[in-house]
Chains A and B, each alone.
Chain A
Amino acid sequence: MVTARSAGLVGCPNCGRVHDVPAPGRCQRCGWRLPGHAPDRSLQRVWAWLLAGLVVYIPANIYPMLRTNTFGRTTESTILEGVVDLIHHGSYGVALVVFVASIVIPIGKFFAIAYLAISVERREMMQVHARHRLFEVVEFIGRWSMIDVFVVAILAALVQLDFAATINPGIAAISFALSVAFTMLSAQSFDPKTIWLDGDMRPR
């Protein structure tokens, strides 16, 4: 496969505009920063955001997400306890949605991004097409983890003082929101072109 790079040209990662070498610092069409000038630190950014996301994900699971006050009695529930509560109430479908969005997707994402980043450094691990697919899935699905933060915000807004119960957000809501944002930034820092690099080099 002929790539802009193998043809001695520079392709814009944003709009696809092709530039002759020496390429300008920024794309002439869309102003995106073109590769090849400053040393590429995208992989370092991927790791930094991923680590930050992992660090704040821990308190997100330990501390309460939701504080419910019913008749003067306060109960606190973490993300996982919230899921268990839903199961007790028989809302299996919703329990599954919350479980997938708040636990399966974030943890899966940590592994997936780490795997993609490692396989760039080590080359050849999984087929390029499978890796590309994995990256697309991570980018598409990661933002959906934000569901639980919205649920907490809606509940806290609705269930206020004039009722028998009050619902307030717990500190985990903040760290969870940060964790989702950080891992999104991590995935966005990943340069999908690196997946295809070794494929370019190998003659067919």
Chain B
Amino acid sequence: MSDQVHTSETSRSAATPPGHFPPVEDLVACPTCDALYQLPDVPKGARARCLRCHTVLTAPRDGAMTRIVMLAGTSVILMLAAIFFPFLELTAAGITQRSSIMDVVLVFADGPFVGLAIAVGALIVILPLARFLALIYVLAPMAFGWRPARVAVPVFRLAERMKPWSMAEIFIVGVAVALIKVAGLAHLSLGPAFWAFVALVLITAVKDTFMCRLTIWKTLEQRSQW
């Protein structure tokens, strides 16, 4: 790869490997493969990818912080609704049983399966919820143009760490499989909490498209020097 300016598809700006080294503040090392770039001011809506491993280096979007905060706030409300409203209704031999997500978590709560109960609760409720709250805590002051919150840096780092462990979308697929498994045994119908949960998964997906980690980290660094 030579040091000349690479331009790829329209609407995407390519990062440029530096010829001589400007101050480190202007450089970015690809987090995945360590390739070094001097990143120009990437316009809003454009995307800069690493030339070598194609990791997205930055993808700033207009008003991204505000949107992420709003979407995360919506997700928190939906999650609270999903916890307390009935999730699934099972009807067999004239008896109807309503189960909320809490029941799914608490079913293991005694005996040798306590650990599993905690794990399932963490993966489908606690970690997703904690991640939404962490993002609000970090990004709400950013969206208003204020100084970052006191422990914003470790909280954002934690939010990033939690990402692979919040498994709301996997739980949805699990529900679908469970529906089919008991289909012969009883009649199963979906409660309002299920749809709240589906909405939450979709909103999370939309929210993640607005997340530009580099922009957030840079903003955090600049604003904490105020």
Residues of A in contact with B (beta carbons under 8 Å apart): 1-7, 9, 11-20, 28-32, 86, 89, 91, 94, 97-98, 129, 132, 139, 143-144, 146-151, 153-160, 162-165, 169, 171, 173-174, 177, 181, 184, 188, 192-193, 195-196, 200, 204
Q: Tell me the bound Cα distance from A146 to B124 in angstroms.
A: 11
Given contacts A31-B154, A31-B157, A174-B115, contact A18 B171 (CB under 8 A): no
CB nearest to A132 among chain B residues: B53
A2–B35 CB distance below 8 A? yes
B142 within 8 A of A: no
Q: Tell me the bound Cα distance from A148 to B174 in angstroms.
A: 7
B217–A91 CB distance below 8 A? no
CB nearest to B95 among chain A residues: A162
B104–A11 CB distance below 8 A? no
B5 within 8 A of A: no
Q: Tell me the bound Cα distance from A195 to B30 in angstroms.
A: 13
Give chain B nearest CB distance to A117 CB in angstroms. Answer: 17
A2–B178 CB distance below 8 A? no
B174–A150 CB distance below 8 A? yes
Residues of chain A lying within 8 A (CB to CB) of residue B90: 158-159, 163
B157–A156 CB distance below 8 A? no
A150–B217 CB distance below 8 A? no
Given contacts A29-B221, A143-B170, contact A193 B177 (CB under 8 A): no
Given contacts A9-B27, A31-B157, contact A193 B34 (CB under 8 A): yes
A86–B120 CB distance below 8 A? no
A174–B182 CB distance below 8 A? no
B99–A158 CB distance below 8 A? yes
B44 within 8 A of A: no
B11 within 8 A of A: no
| Contacts of B93-126 to chain A: CB distance below 8 A | 93, 95, 97, 99, 103-108, 112-113, 115-116, 119-120, 123-124
B29 within 8 A of A: yes
A174–B217 CB distance below 8 A? no
B164–A192 CB distance below 8 A? no
A144: contacting residue among B53, B124, B170, CB under 8 A: B170
CB nearest to B214 among chain A residues: A16
CB nearest to B103 among chain A residues: A157
Give chain B nearest CB distance to A169 CB in angstroms. Answer: 6
Give chain A nearest CB distance to B89 CB in angstroms. Answer: 9
Residues of chain A lying within 8 A (CB to CB) of residue B52: 1, 196
B32–A157 CB distance below 8 A? no
A30–B153 CB distance below 8 A? yes
B17 within 8 A of A: yes
Known pairs A14-B31, A143-B165, A169-B108. 9 more at Cβ < 8 A? A11-B34, A15-B213, A18-B27, A29-B220, A30-B153, A149-B174, A153-B120, A192-B33, A196-B53
A3–B29 CB distance below 8 A? yes
A154–B18 CB distance below 8 A? no
Residues of chain A lying within 8 A (CB to CB) of residue B198: none
Give chain A nearest CB distance to B45 CB in angstroms. Answer: 21
B29–A9 CB distance below 8 A? yes
Task: Write out, one digit per residue, whether chain B residues 9-31 have a CB within 8 A of any chain A CB (1) or not (0).
Answer: 00000000110010010011111
| Contacts of B135-194 to chain A: CB distance below 8 A | 153-154, 156-157, 160, 164-165, 167, 170-171, 173-178, 180-186, 188
B164–A143 CB distance below 8 A? yes
Give chain A nearest CB distance to B172 CB in angstroms. Answer: 9
Residues of chain B lying within 8 A (CB to CB) of residue A162: 95, 97
A158–B177 CB distance below 8 A? no
Q: List 7 A-B contacts (CB under 8 A).
A: A1-B52, A3-B29, A30-B153, A94-B176, A157-B99, A158-B97, A163-B90
A1: contacting residue among B17, B164, B178, CB under 8 A: B17
B174–A147 CB distance below 8 A? yes
Q: Tell me the bound Cα distance from A173 to B111 in angstroms.
A: 14
Give chain A nearest CB distance to B183 CB in angstroms. Answer: 8
A94–B217 CB distance below 8 A? no
